[in-house]
Structure 1
């Protein structure tokens, strides 16, 4: 089951919806660099839409935490931030650890089997890098989504998938950490704990897995230039 953010869960209906989906995809795939200022006249002309529809689309992006907007300054794509990254991983460690524990308790036998099959597919075709920054196929995020969904806690699912995971993608697809053999082993251990219905161990292993991912991402950010971080534009 491929990961699907709540921010993209509804089919576009209005012009603003379609613009939002197009701009969101461009941001997450790197077509719009981190920190880039959004020119409303240019975008409105390029899409052939009204400024009102464009502003509505930008508002949706702001709700997904991909755009910041300040009075008298305008909107821009968010920049990379080590502080923000650490906050994201702190939240993920706590909440996804809880999700793994709940998944061990609440997943049906069929859901556990589906998770095991996902791990087998990952093991047989583990890519070194996410394919072409494809939003729909990231083996690591697919795994995490299955565990989160398996918690069967709707509020937890909404909090992670609606409030957080577009930001996770924003960092992940630009840092391009790939899917390593070490991550594969960590996934297998988590699934083994879930299969054994050992919620405590599943939580411990998930927390460890996310901390390891955090440390790799932090090291990459620390080695990026201000231009790469998106803090060069004023």
Structure 2
């Protein structure tokens, strides 16, 4: 099942998707221990189903296991943020460069339309929150790279951990308008088929986003 297919097929899918959303959105706080017994009661499924869901959450970097402790939700840390965003900057920069070369004219039009819809949301708003999947600006560009190995690395391995940082410590205040402006510049470079500029702008955008989240993280833990 695609990490963006939100239609659960089995009870395991339903449990996995539900737990993933609870973790990303902070309903299950970072660092929380995951009890198979409690979760099986909450979701009305067997412990085996919960165990499978937890194993899947571990593969998408939202859960970690430690000896004599068990499964816990990953903590949001400065070191984790820096390392994650170093990888994200390199890979999404590459995705933007490839998107400029390989996105169809229709895909570029759709990306421009998506950004236009975001403008109405951002104007006069104190936050800039994007849902997962097709309505996510970054996800569209990753798909637009048309490089399956790159798409897999970004969507299967780190996408939801990135979303966890973005949702819980993401864009608000002055960063809203500047982030949107950066998105506009990236789309313009892709529209112009300027891959080198698109990569540069995407890497810079992710670096600025990392700096913004890092400041909030330090404030929250300071």
Fold shared by both chains (TM-score > 0.5): yes
Equivalent residue number for residue 159 of structure 2: 165
Contiguous gaps of at least 5 residues in structure 1: 227-234
> Which one of the candidate residues 149, 156, 168 is aligned to 1:155?
149
The 1:48/1:190 distance shift into structure 2, 3 A limit, reads: closer
Matched residue of 1:45: which SS? helix
Query: Is 1:39 the counterpart of 2:35 in the alignment?
Result: yes
Deviation at 1:16, TM superposition (A): 2.1
The 1:189/1:165 distance shift into structure 2, 3 A limit, reads: same
Q: How does 1:132-151 map to 2 (within 5 A)?
A: 135-136=131-132, 142-151=136-145
Preserved CA contact (<8 Å) 1:6 1:158: no
Deviation at 1:31, TM superposition (A): 1.1
Contiguous gaps of at least 5 residues in structure 2: none
Q: Deviations 1:107-165 (Å, cap 9, x if unpaired)?
A: 1111111111112222233143256xx744897xx111111111111111111111111
Q: How does 1:186-205 map to 2 (within 5 A)?
A: 186-205=182-201
Query: Is 1:58 the counterpart of 2:54 in the alignment?
Result: yes
Equivalent residue number for residue 129 of structure 1: 127
How big is the alpha-carbon RMSD for the aligned residues of Structure 1 and Structure 2? 2.2
The 1:137/1:64 distance shift into structure 2, 3 A limit, reads: closer
Equivalent residue number for residue 115 of structure 1: 111
Q: Deviations 1:28-82 (Å, cap 9, x if unpaired)?
A: 1221011111122222223332222211111111111111112332111111111
Matched residue of 2:28: which SS? coil
Q: What is the TM-score when the length of structure 1 is the normalising length?
A: 0.85
| Aligned counterparts of 2:100 and 2:133: Cα–Cα separation in 1 | 25
| Aligned counterparts of 2:134 and 2:7: Cα–Cα separation in 1 | 21
Q: What is the TM-score when the length of structure 2 is the normalising length?
A: 0.90
Preserved CA contact (<8 Å) 1:38 1:75: yes
Matched residue of 2:3: which SS? helix
Equivalent residue number for residue 10 of structure 2: 14
| Aligned counterparts of 2:21 and 2:90: Cα–Cα separation in 1 | 28
The 1:8/1:102 distance shift into structure 2, 3 A limit, reads: closer
The 1:117/1:207 distance shift into structure 2, 3 A limit, reads: same
